[in-house]
């Protein structure tokens, strides 16, 4: 069994960081400002980032075992938050992999990520988590996260104030 420890600390008015004893040189700026900050991720964005990091780490783990060739990968995630009671309702993602592997191998990679991802499985047990994998340049997923880009998805733009987290 693995165990994890992270400390989140208030460092000033509306400012906070997360640290971890395992990686003392790493800190993550946290948006603790009720008005929202543009230089740090808020708790909902951190949750989405954790799911994305889980998938990317999973690729690094499974690709060598599957002898899966890729040039890069990126995942764009979109979460929908309910106001009362406050909670995430659903998370959707698009995983873009730059590869020339056949579709069946791309699907195999996706199934492995869903089956063996700790954070993926934890979040999927609590929230509707859906997504797709597709072949393409990683810039496709990165461009999806750029503010002001037109998408078919509901506008995930920052609304101004976070309702706690």
8 Å CB contact between 96 and 138: yes
pLDDT at 139: 85
pLDDT at 150: 38
Percent of the chain with pLDDT over 70: 87
Between 67 and 155, the more confident residue is 67
Predicted confidence (pLDDT) per residue in 4-44, tens digit: 999 999 999 989 999 999 998 999 999 999 999 999 999 99
Does pLDDT of 65 surpass 80?
yes
pLDDT at 142: 75
Q: Which pTM value belongs to this model?
A: 0.86
CA end-to-end distance (rounded Å), the chain: 29
Cis peptide before 85 (omega within 30 of 0): yes
pLDDT at 156: 40
Rounded Cα–Cα distance for residues 122 and 114 (Å) = 11
Predicted confidence (pLDDT) per residue in 116-164, tens digit: 999 999 999 999 999 999 999 988 777 766 554 434 443 343 344 444 5
Rounded Cα–Cα distance for residues 69 and 89 (Å) = 35
Question: Could you give the residue ranges of the DSSP H alpha helices within the chain?
Answer: 43-66, 103-116, 118-124, 139-144
8 Å CB contact between 83 and 102: no
Rounded Cα–Cα distance for residues 86 and 108 (Å) = 35
pLDDT at 148: 47
Predicted confidence (pLDDT) per residue in 77-87, tens digit: 999 999 999 99
The DSSP letter of residue 24 is T
3-class DSSP state for residue 137? coil
Does pLDDT of 46 surpass 80?
yes
Domain ranges of the chain: 1-38, 41-144
Question: CA distances (Å), 3 to each of 52, 76, 96, 122, in order?
Answer: 20, 28, 30, 15
Calculate mean pLDDT across residues 103-123: 97
CA-based nearest residue to 158, from 3, 31, 66, 53: 31
Note the CATH architecture for domain 41-144.
Answer: 2-Layer Sandwich (3.30)
pLDDT at 140: 73
Torsions phi, psi for 36 (to 5 deg): 90, 145
């Amino acid at each position: 069994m693995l165990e994890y420890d992270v400390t989140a600390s208030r460092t000033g008015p509306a400012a906070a960081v997360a640290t971890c004893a395992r990686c003392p040189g790493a800190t993550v700026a946290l948006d603790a400002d009720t008005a929202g900050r543009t230089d740090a991720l808020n708790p909902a964005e951190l949750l989405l980032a954790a799911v994305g990091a889980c998938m990317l780490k999973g690729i690094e783990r499974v690709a060598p075992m599957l002898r899966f060739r890729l040039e890069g990968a990126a995942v764009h995630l979109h979460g929908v938050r309910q106001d009362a009671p406050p909670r995430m309702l659903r998370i959707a993602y698009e995983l873009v992999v730059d590869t020339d592997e056949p579709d069946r191998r791309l699907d195999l990679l996706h199934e492995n990520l869903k089956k063996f991802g700790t954070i993926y499985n934890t979040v999927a047990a609590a929230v509707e988590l859906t997504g797709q994998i597709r072949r393409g340049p990683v810039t496709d997923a990165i461009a999806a996260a750029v503010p002001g880009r037109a998408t078919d998805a509901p506008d995930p733009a920052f609304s101004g104030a976070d309702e706690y987290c």
